[in-house]
Amino acid sequence: MVVWAQTDDGVRGFLVPAGTPGMTATPITQKLSMRASIQCDVVFDGVRLGPDAMLPAAMGLRGPFTCLNEARYGIVWGAMGAARDSYEAALAYSQDRLQFGKPLAGYQLTQEKLVNMLLEIQKGTMLAYYLGRLKDEGKLRPEQISLGKLNNVREAIKVAREARSILGGNGITLDYSPLRHAANLESVRTYEGTDEVHLLVLGQHITGLSAFR
Ligand SMILES: Cc1cc2nc3c(=O)[nH]c(=O)nc-3n(C[C@H](O)[C@H](O)[C@H](O)COP(=O)(O)OP(=O)(O)OC[C@H]3O[C@@H](n4cnc5c(N)ncnc54)[C@H](O)[C@@H]3O)c2cc1C
């Protein structure tokens, strides 16, 4: 387990091997989101580690933020993957499902939903691509990652929910992916910086005023 902890020398990172005496990790069950991955309730009680457990180069908050920035950048893409899969499931379904003798895809209301999904997927993917180019050039700034994570997750969850509506009653079953994506994206809104925190990062960036506290 990678643990970031406050020390006399500021925040430092520690590698805590599974089975270390005093450490317990109890899986959190009964989740409605991210059900395929395990999160644990972690307790440290009198845990002792040798000096080699400390990450030598990570000093201060820069260490965890560097990790978070990598994960957040990945989410900018991942959210669009979930949105695209939802859209493709809804598009395929709407082309097959007949109502009054014609595919759902042939109705204007369905086309509006599909086109609006497509617009957000294309915009979000282009944003991810642009941020990736900046990253390759070593120019990607944390507030730009906040912009990508906040926007792409927020839009992806809207796309997944709209896709579910095209699937009608079938959309609430495990046979189709959009509602699963929407449920998982609820977690993604929260981890790696909540929507609110990314919004405040951007608010601070454009106003120069911190509203975190
Ligand atoms: C599936 C999943 C996996 C996770 N994996 C990890 C992991 O591997 N490692 C890890 O360390 N954590 C992990 N987390 C925890 C996650 O990082 C936290 O849940 C998240 O940071 C929010 O913290 P919290 O749950 O304590 O909510 P809180 O901090 O209590 O926040 C609750 C609400 O209040 C808002 N809020 C809080 N403070 C402010 C403020 N100052 N201004 C405005 N609004 C505010 C938040 O945005 C949120 O909407 C995971 C969470 C999930 C769901």
Pocket probe mutation, ligand 1, options 146, 154, 194, 210, max atoms within 8 Å of Cβ: 194
Half-sphere exposure of 190 (CA within 13 A, CB side): 7
CA torsion angle for 203, 205, 211, 213 (degrees, to 10)?
140
pLDDT in tens, the chain (213 residues): 999 999 999 999 999 999 999 999 999 999 999 999 999 999 999 999 999 999 999 999 999 999 999 999 999 999 999 999 999 999 999 999 999 999 999 999 999 999 999 999 999 999 999 999 999 999 999 999 999 999 999 999 999 999 999 999 999 999 999 999 999 999 999 999 999 999 999 999 999 999 999
pTM attached to this predicted model: 0.95
Q: Of 70, 162, 192, 196, which is the active-site residue?
A: 192
Residue 49 CA to its chain's centroid (Å): 32
Q: Mark whether 143 is an active-site residue.
A: no
To test the pocket of ligand 1, the residue of 191, 192, 213 to mutate (highest count of ligand atoms within 8 Å of its CB) is 191
**Domains of the chain, CATH where assigned:** 2-59 (2.40.110.10), 62-207 (1.20.140.10)
